[in-house]
Amino acid sequence: MNTNDHFRALEAMYQAAPINEFYRPAMEITEGKAEISIDIEPKMFHAAGATHGSVYFKMLDDAAFFAANSLEPDFFVLTTSFTTYITRPISGGKMVAKGNVVNRNRSQWIVESIVYDSEGREIGRGNGIFVRSKNPLAEVPGYKDYNH
């Protein structure tokens, strides 16, 4: 599989994840980078009427995860740690998360991600460490079903 097909297969894998039926995200992957966007809806709010922190975490972790996995062509990667900073509440519009691999070696990737609101303001950021699992991508739903 060539690099571009790998990126498209990762995007198909992301869309195949059952959790994404709730969020309905859009994703684009390039080498060492991933960008995800979702529309904010009231079903994502906490009791005070703003987007719940779990949505920030999902967006930041997913963007970082797929940025890392873009550089691993054979195996599913795993999040081993992830730190999230929520810097601004939002209650509407879009969230756009951008993940970028900042360091890697043979056994791990260090990735930073930032999430923005519809006006391009930073609303959160995170960083994480990802490692290669023993699960071949060729066996993961969505990835294995991708038709080049």
Q: Which residues contact 21 (CB under 8 A, 6 or more apart)?
A: none
Q: What is the pLDDT of residue 148?
A: 67
pLDDT in tens, 19-69: 999 999 999 999 999 999 999 999 999 999 999 999 999 999 999 999 999
Contact, 25 vs 37, CB < 8 A? yes
Listed by start position, the domains of the chain span 3-139
φ and ψ at residue 44, rounded to 5 degrees: -100, 5
pTM: 0.95
Percent of the chain with pLDDT over 90: 95
Closest CA to 88 of 128, 133, 118: 118
What is the CA angle 18-20-24, rounded to 5? 145
3-139 adopts what CATH topology? Answer: Thiol Ester Dehydrase; Chain A (3.10.129)
